[in-house]
């Protein structure tokens, strides 16, 4: 039996959650031979290794180890190194996911080598070309042969951009596959106890903050404004802030780190009262963060994936951006786009805590079966 060799390229934290269901589904069919290539775009334990362990992803077959750098440096390194891999392995298909530098780099190399490319999470658009991710999304979709979408909005975007309908497959959201699969085990996490949020059976009300995009963290005035308004908010309920390495670096560069409490270890973390309950901690693993997010009264974020996860969990979400490539989370979910103006954020936080949030509606096909639909398409195409 001839096997279909499939390279799955991952590089950054969101890729891991989206690839795990795909690998699990491909492994059910001996006709496929998956090869997991990790570019190393995210490379430290908190952003990479722990996710492989918790998602039960196999060790990467190939690790490129590109590390950090400017967009051009990182994308170029990935292209040079992945080209050698694809020439040697000669896969029948390369699957890329999401919108990070690894996505466009691997798709571009595969396309130039004449290898079919499948893009999982295709068609999402913020219509803001100042976002590096928007450029990655647009270019990846133009050179992909199979485009797997999460929503009807994405289908319409692709058709408007001239993508033939025969290449577009509406399959649902693999990020939600991961969430639904891991919810039960995430409930066993001890993170709430470690942070002093759960004492016995009692759960303290709290909010969660994540922030890493350049529009929020690369400008001292913007970052200071967001931190100030949330520090004020933390006098009412605690704000737990798992901090992306990029954000922590900027906070230190701008000398804003003294505004908050940073805990390298939170095994003994406690919440102080009454004046400052913003607790800044290192990045969390997938299961700990899922547990923290699923019990929160409110989530504030500039992450795309968290907008989707809070929609399914029914948690009020304030997106600290001026736009979103996931409008379905606003239209059908619990997401409100508020930008990064401190006064607007303050007003939105108050309204969210008073219960003024959208009614949750589960988007179509966000049911934990997206990976199965993708593999069904691949079986038809390659068998």
Domain shared by 203 and 330, yes or no: yes
Q: Is residue 321 part of a domain?
A: yes
Measuring CA to CA, which residue among 79, 40, 39, 35 is closest to residue 58? Answer: 35
CA–CA dist 137, 233 (Å, integer): 35
- Same domain for 131 and 16, yes or no, is yes
Residues 312 and 205 in one domain: yes
Active-site residue flag, 181:
no
Indicate the range of 30-34, 141-145, 281-285 predicted with least confidence.
281-285
Q: For residue 268, name the pLDDT band (cuts at 50, 70, 90).
A: very low
Give me the chain's average pLDDT, please: 91
Query: What's residue 66's pLDDT?
Result: 87
Instruction: Kindly state whether residues 31 and 127 are assigned to the same domain.
Output: yes
Give the list of residues 6+ apart from residue 200 with CB closer than 8 angstroms, or none. none
Q: What pLDDT does 267 receive?
A: 55
38, 71, 193, 212: which one is catalytic?
212
Residue 229 lies in a domain: yes
Range of 89's domain?
A: 4-173+366-382
Q: Same structural domain for residues 161 and 189?
A: no
* Residue 232 forms part of a structural domain: yes
Looking at the fold, whether 199 and 127 belong to one and the same domain comes out as: no
* Claim to verify: residue 152 and residue 268 sit in the same structural domain: no
pLDDT digit string, tens, across residues 235-252 = 899 999 999 888 999 999
Query: Model confidence at 67, in pLDDT bands (50, 70, 90)?
Result: confident
End-to-end, the C-alpha distance of the chain in Å comes to 10
Same structural domain for residues 35 and 138? yes
Same domain assignment for residues 77 and 203: no
The CATH code of the domain that includes 305 is 3.40.50.2000
Instruction: With a cut of 90, say whether residue 46 has pLDDT above it.
Output: no
Q: Is the pLDDT of residue 274 over 60?
A: no
Percentage of the chain with pLDDT > 70? 94
Within a domain: 253 = yes
pLDDT of residue 292: 97
Tell whether the model's pLDDT for residue 140 goes beyond 50.
yes
Same domain, 163 and 188: no
Residue 56's pLDDT is what?
78
Q: Is residue 331 part of a domain?
A: yes
Residue pLDDT, tens place only, 208-227: 999 999 999 999 999 999 99
| Distance separating alpha carbons of residues 7 and 167, to the nearest angstrom | 19
Q: Per the structure, how many domains does the chain have?
A: 2
* Two tokens, residue 57: 């992803």
Per-residue pLDDT, 45? 52
Q: Which residue has the tokens 């919810």?
A: 183
Structural domain contains residue 223: yes
pLDDT on residue 199: 75
Residue 237 lies in a domain: yes
Residue 2: per-residue pLDDT: 83
Pair (375, 334) in one structural domain: no
Asked whether the predicted pLDDT for residue 207 surpasses 50, the reply is yes
pLDDT of 152 higher than 50 = yes
State the pLDDT confidence band at 353, using cuts at 50, 70 and 90.
Answer: confident
The answer on 284 and 247 residing in a single domain is yes
Please tell me the distance from the alpha carbon of residue 30 to that of residue 28, in angstroms, as a whole number.
7
In-domain check, residue 27: yes
225 vs 68, residue with greater confidence: 225
């Amino acid at each position: 039996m001839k096997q279909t060799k499939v390279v799955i390229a991952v590089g950054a934290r969101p890729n891991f959650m989206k690839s795990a269901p795909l690998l699990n589904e491909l492994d059910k069919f001996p006709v496929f031979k998956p090869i997991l290539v990790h570019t190393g775009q995210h490379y430290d334990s908190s952003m990479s290794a722990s996710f492989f362990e918790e998602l039960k992803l196999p060790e990467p077959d190939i690790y490129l180890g590109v590390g950090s750098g400017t967009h051009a440096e990182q994308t170029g390194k990935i292209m040079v190194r992945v080209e050698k891999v694809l020439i040697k392995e000669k896969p029948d298909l390369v699957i890329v996911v999401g919108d990070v530098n690894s996505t466009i780099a691997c798709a571009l190399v595969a396309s130039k080598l004449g290898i079919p490319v499948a893009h999982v999470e295709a068609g999402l658009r913020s219509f803001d070309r100042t976002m590096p991710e928007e450029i990655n999304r647009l270019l990846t979709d133009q050179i992909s042969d199979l485009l797997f979408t999460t929503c009807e909005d994405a289908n319409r975007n692709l058709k408007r951009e001239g993508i033939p309908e025969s290449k577009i497959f509406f399959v649902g959201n693999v990020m939600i596959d991961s969430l639904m699969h891991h919810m039960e085990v995430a409930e066993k996490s001890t993170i709430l106890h470690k942070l002093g949020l759960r004492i016995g059976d009692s759960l303290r009300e709290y909010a969660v903050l994540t922030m890493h995009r350049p529009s929020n963290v690369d400008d001292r005035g913007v970052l200071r404004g967001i931190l100030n308004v949330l520090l004020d908010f933390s006098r009412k309920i605690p704000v737990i802030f798992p901090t992306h390495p990029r954000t922590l670096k900027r906070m230190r560069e701008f000398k804003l780190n003294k505004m908050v409490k940073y805990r390298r270890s939170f095994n003994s973390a406690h919440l102080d009262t009454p004046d400052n309950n913003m607790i800044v901690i290192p990045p969390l693993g997938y299961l700990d963060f899922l547990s923290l997010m699923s019990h929160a009264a409110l989530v504030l974020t500039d992450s795309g994936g968290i907008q989707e996860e809070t929609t399914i969990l029914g948690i009020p979400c304030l997106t600290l951006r001026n736009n979103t490539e996931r409008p379905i989370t606003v239209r059908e979910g619990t997401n409100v786009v508020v930008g990064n103006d401190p006064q607007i954020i303050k007003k939105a936080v108050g309204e969210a805590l008073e219960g003024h949030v959208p009614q949750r509606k589960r988007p179509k096909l966000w049911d934990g079966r997206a990976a199965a639909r993708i593999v069904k398409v691949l079986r038809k195409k390659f068998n």
